[in-house]
Amino acid sequence: MSHVLALSGGVGGAKLAAGLAAVLPPERLTIIVNTGDDFEHLGLTICPDIDSVVYALAGLNDRVRGWGVAEESWQAMAMLRRLGEADWFNLGDRDMAMHIARSWRLRAGETLSAVTARLTRALGIGACVAPMSDARLATLIETDAGTMDFQRWFVGEQCRPVARAIRFAGAGAPPSPAFAGALARPDLGAIIVCPSNPFLSVDPILALGGVRDALASRRVPVLAVSPLIGGAAVKGPLDKLLAERGAGTGNAAIAGHYAGLIDHLVIDRQDDPDAGGLRASGLFVTVTQTLMHAPGDQARLAREILKALAIP
């Protein structure tokens, strides 16, 4: 029975990661998560995409807000505000426990991989969820108003400044042991790129040392799920980034971005008219419902993907 390696960012990616975790035995799945969005805030190490994946797999995620923990309270944030501390980035009380647990363990000398393994175990998650790297690779947005840390641009500025370029400080950092180990597994059956933002969530993973080459010289299928539905992003700044880059829109732009790296693209039914052109470019294309409203949709999409990859 082959192993599956999933590459994920936050919200959309986390949903498919949870679907894969629901249908695969834990020992057959490695989920590698973008850490380019991570930052230090109020003395805490915040890893938003790892937490989105962890909360989704543990069934703790807030499905309406899209990030953080469900049934959250905000007492600590209110007190921090009274104390005159920064309140542009919202930390819920339950979510804050995660940041505290992670931050002190990191400061005590554990790697982010070890801390993430500890926290996922504690929450009853069986599959391996690991950061893309234990080294720092930070996503920076170059705008007319200067270069911004990712969260300052994304949350603080609500993605308003035009992104002239996206840069990764620390590019070439080594993949985490779990990531390098999964890429080298003789029983690796497929690599799945979850429906995350290609520029903000997947490119940081591809910017690690050796990852692009490992995918390009793959010996297993590499399948990406398009983050677009009806030609537009479900959430987040992807549409804005596509427009600002001027390198096309729709699934052709997604396929173009991953050219040479993927051989299979899963697109939504609403984008069926894109399928012919994508197939003509040499890609395998699966057309299905990619929008995941409910946990049932996550598992259904995961099953369809595994079937398309002929992975039992």
Binding residues for ligand FO1 (CB under 6 A): 9-11, 37, 46, 48-49, 51, 67-68, 89-91, 95, 151, 154-155
Map tokens 């797999």 to a residue: 57
CB of 244 to ligand FO1, least distance (A): 17
Are the beta carbons of 262 and 256 closer than 8 angstroms?
Answer: no
Nearer to ligand FO1 (CB atom), residue 90 or residue 281: 90
Coil/strand/helix, residue 186: coil
Q: CA separation (Å) from 8 to 2, 59, 203, 210? A: 19, 17, 11, 18
Min dist. Cβ of residue 235 to ligand FO1 (A): 9
Rank residues 56 and 305 by Cβ distance to ligand FO1 and give the closer one. Answer: 56
**CB closer to ligand FO1, 69 vs 190:** 69
Closest to 111 (Cα-Cα) out of 67, 189, 173: 173
First to last CA, the chain: 7
Closest residue to ligand FO1, based on beta-carbon distance: 10
CB of 265 to ligand FO1, least distance (A): 21
DSSP code string of 96-121: HHHHHHHHHHHHTT--HHHHHHHHHH
Instruction: Give 89 or 284: the residue with its C-beta nearer to ligand FO1.
Output: 89
Residue closer to ligand FO1 (CB basis): 113 or 151:
151
Amino acid making up residue 137:
L
Distance CA 74, CA 96 (A): 10
Using CA atoms, how far apart are residues 211 and 122, in angstroms rounded to an integer? Answer: 30
CB of 227 to ligand FO1, least distance (A): 11
Minimum CB distance to ligand FO1, residue 68 (Å) = 5
**Eight-class DSSP state of 124:** T
